[in-house]
């Protein structure tokens, strides 16, 4: 008799797992049923800011695979608008609520894939029913925001609360739509995924876009007129707003897992082993924004909610469910973003992470250009490296600059992944021609500078 795999969450991690399992096991061996409370499968939340800005004109361009494709080409049954409300591990069944028609369905499982993603943090002051306040997590959130922006009269003043990469990308999108935008950040600087000295470069660029940036400031409430937001309230007074975007980060969505008794790790995510199995709970797997994973540099469990990990982890889980063998080797936190033309890349540990992990280190900043200085279009590029003392092992890297900056972080990510020292890196055979790099690539200049700093530190 066929086994049944039930998938909770039909986006990146869940459907990567389902597709891989199907590739390895036919329908008469494995029935697959996926539940999602939303309207879509396998969509790109990462593309939402570019849909809002108008760069990507159609919502459906962000959908990689529709439910019909899963049904027809993969023989995977997808039940959208079904919210799973309980997992019963003893009876091996899930309970789901039909959000459109009402009522409850129960589905037994032999294997369970937990892929519920993360929940955006929504502070108490945003908990009411005030119109014009948006979290940004799903295509439904994007559609609701577009509806608000296109209404008559159109909003003119936006406040983005939180300066992480989603807040920054949304701020840029709203500027491009012609709104005046204020970004409010509780910390001293937005873009805390890089060190403050690198974030400063990004902040300068954001200001030149016309973005107002208020730092060291907490939002404490909202003002409203006729049920519509009219301002955000801070300790330093109100800031007018007819649309508010929340970019306050996310937490792993583990309510169901916790209630079912699945083990959670110190970062709050579901614990998994290298094959994405939930330890101690046979036949249960988890992947994506709801799990925690190993940071390969610090050795610590971390929650890093990125689409690139969700896809890879889901794939690993699916291969294993399908009877193959695959492992997820952990993360080093490589991420890229941009503010208009300014690109930002980061990998590994920031200075504060290196301190927390107990490393002794040097850090250097090297300023260079993306192309030969004489070549048209040459623009500044700043590379920061953090290297362990005395070994010289690379611990982290950050890049800020114009074209060709962000994806240069991949060179550094490969070096970091392979535990290279900055001494080794000075000899890397990187490509050179004037349109692409100066004769000494910015990465090599930074590595040389780190070697000098280590020597100067009496290593
Ligand atoms: C605006 C934005 C920009 C981003 N940009 C990037 C980027 O540039 N690069 C990058 O790597 N990552 C980016 N991300 C993060 C990336 O989108 C996520 O890491 C990725 O979507 C996680 O995939 P997932 O499958 O784990 O979770 P999700 O994509 O969140 O999917 C989880 C699914 O589970 C469903 N679900 C949850 N609970 C239940 C339940 N009880 N019953 C039924 N269904 C349920 C949800 O409806 C959802 O569809 C961005 C995210 C956002 C919001």
Query: Would you list the DSSP string of 372-405?
Result: -TTSTT--EEEEEEEEETTT-BEEEEEEEESTTS
pLDDT of residue 1: 83
Rounded Cα gap, residues 271 and 279, in angstroms: 7
pLDDT of residue 21: 98
The answer to whether residue 209 scores a pLDDT higher than 90 is no
pLDDT of residue 368: 96
For residue 103, is it left (φ>0), alpha (ψ between -120 and 50) or beta?
left
The answer to whether residue 284 scores a pLDDT higher than 90 is yes
Q: Which residue has tokens 């080409």? A: 73
- Average confidence (pLDDT) over 84-101: 98
Pocket of ligand 1 (CB under 6 A): 8-14, 35-38, 45-46, 48-49, 83-84, 115-118, 136-137, 166, 253, 256, 288-289, 305-308, 310
pLDDT in tens, 287-344: 999 999 999 999 999 999 999 999 999 999 999 999 999 999 999 999 999 988 899 9
- Average confidence (pLDDT) over 31-45: 96
CB contact at 8 A, 109 and 92: yes
pLDDT of residue 152: 86
pLDDT of residue 31: 98
Where does the pLDDT of residue 168 fall: very low under 50, low under 70, confident under 90, or very high at 90 and above? Answer: very high
Where does the pLDDT of residue 426 fall: very low under 50, low under 70, confident under 90, or very high at 90 and above? Answer: very high
Q: Which residues have a catalytic role annotated?
A: 46
- Averaged confidence pLDDT in the chain: 96
Rounded Cα gap, residues 5 and 89, in angstroms: 14
> Counting atoms of ligand 1 from 1, which one is nearest the CA of 308?
11
Rounded Cα gap, residues 154 and 34, in angstroms: 39
Cα–Cα nearest to 94, from 346, 262, 332: 262
pLDDT of residue 39: 95
**Which of 106, 276, 307, 343 has the most ligand 1 atoms within 8 A of CB, as the residue to mutate?**
307
240, two tokens: 């007018």
Q: How far is the CA of 11 from the centre of ligand 1 (A)?
A: 7
pLDDT in tens, 368-416: 999 999 999 999 999 999 999 999 999 999 999 998 899 999 999 999 9
Q: How far is the CA of 164 from the centre of ligand 1 (A)?
A: 16
Q: Is 315 helix (H, G, I), strand (E, B) or coil?
A: helix
Q: How far is the CA of 115 from the centre of ligand 1 (A)?
A: 9
Rounded Cα gap, residues 45 and 136, in angstroms: 8
The answer to whether residue 129 scores a pLDDT higher than 90 is no
Q: How far is the CA of 207 from the centre of ligand 1 (A)?
A: 30
**Which of 289, 339, 406 has the most ligand 1 atoms within 8 A of CB, as the residue to mutate?**
289
CB crowding 36-70: b at 16 or more within 10 Å, else e: bbbebbbbbbbbbbbbbbeebeebeebbebebeeb
pLDDT of residue 275: 98
pTM for the predicted model, two decimal places: 0.95
Distances (CA, A) of 267 to 84, 301, 303, 312, 351: 23, 7, 6, 20, 20
């Amino acid at each position: 008799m066929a086994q049944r795999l039930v998938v909770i969450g039909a986006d990146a991690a869940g459907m990567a797992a389902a597709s891989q399992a199907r590739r390895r096991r036919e329908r008469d061996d494995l029935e697959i049923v996926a539940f999602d409370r939303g309207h879509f499968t396998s969509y790109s939340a990462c593309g939402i800011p570019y849909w809002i800005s108008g760069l990507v004109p159609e919502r459906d361009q962000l959908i990689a695979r529709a439910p019909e494709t899963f049904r027809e080409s993969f023989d995977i049954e997808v039940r959208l608008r079904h919210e799973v409300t309980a997992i019963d591990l003893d009876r091996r069944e899930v309970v789901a609520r039909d959000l459109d028609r009402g009522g409850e369905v129960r589905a037994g499982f032999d294997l369970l894939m937990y892929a519920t993603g993360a929940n955006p943090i929504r502070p108490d002051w945003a908990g009411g029913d005030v119109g014009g306040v948006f979290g940004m997590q799903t295509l439904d959130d994007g559609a609701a925001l577009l509806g608000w922006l296109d209404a008559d009269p159109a909003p003119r003043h936006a406040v983005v609360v939180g300066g992480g990469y989603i807040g920054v990308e949304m701020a840029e999108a709203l500027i491009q739509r012609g709104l005046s935008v204020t970004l409010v950040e509780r910390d001293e600087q937005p873009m805390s995924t890089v060190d403050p000295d690198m974030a400063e470069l990004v902040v300068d660029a954001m200001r030149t876009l016309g973005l107002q940036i208020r730092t060291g400031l907490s939002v404490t409430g909202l003002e409203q007129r006729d049920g519509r937001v009219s301002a955000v309230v801070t300790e330093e007074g109100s800031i007018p707003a007819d649309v508010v975007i929340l970019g306050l980060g996310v937490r792993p969505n583990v309510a169901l897992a916790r209630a079912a008794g699945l083990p959670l790790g110190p970062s709050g995510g579901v614990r998994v082993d290298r094959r994405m199995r939930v330890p101690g709970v046979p036949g249960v797997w988890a992947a994506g924004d709801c799990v925690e994973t190993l940071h390969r540099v610090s050795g610590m469990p971390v929650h890093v909610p990125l689409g690139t990990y969700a896809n890879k982890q889901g794939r690993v889980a699916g291969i294993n469910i399908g009877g193959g063998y695959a492992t997820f080797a952990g993360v080093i936190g490589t991420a890229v973003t941009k503010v208009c033309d300014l690109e930002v890349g980061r990998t590994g540990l920031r200075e504060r992470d290196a301190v927390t992990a107990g490393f002794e280190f040097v850090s250097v900043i090297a300023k260079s250009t993306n192309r030969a200085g004489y070549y048209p279009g040459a623009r500044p590029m700043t590379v920061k490296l953090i290297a362990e003392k005395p070994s010289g092992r690379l611990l982290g890297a950050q890049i800020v600059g114009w074209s060709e900056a962000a994806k240069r972080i991949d060179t550094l990510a490969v070096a970091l992944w392979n535990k290279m020292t900055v001494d080794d890196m000075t000899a890397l055979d990187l490509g050179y021609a004037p349109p692409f790099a100066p004769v000494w690539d910015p990465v090599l200049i930074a590595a040389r500078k780190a070697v000098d700093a280590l020597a100067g530190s009496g290593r």
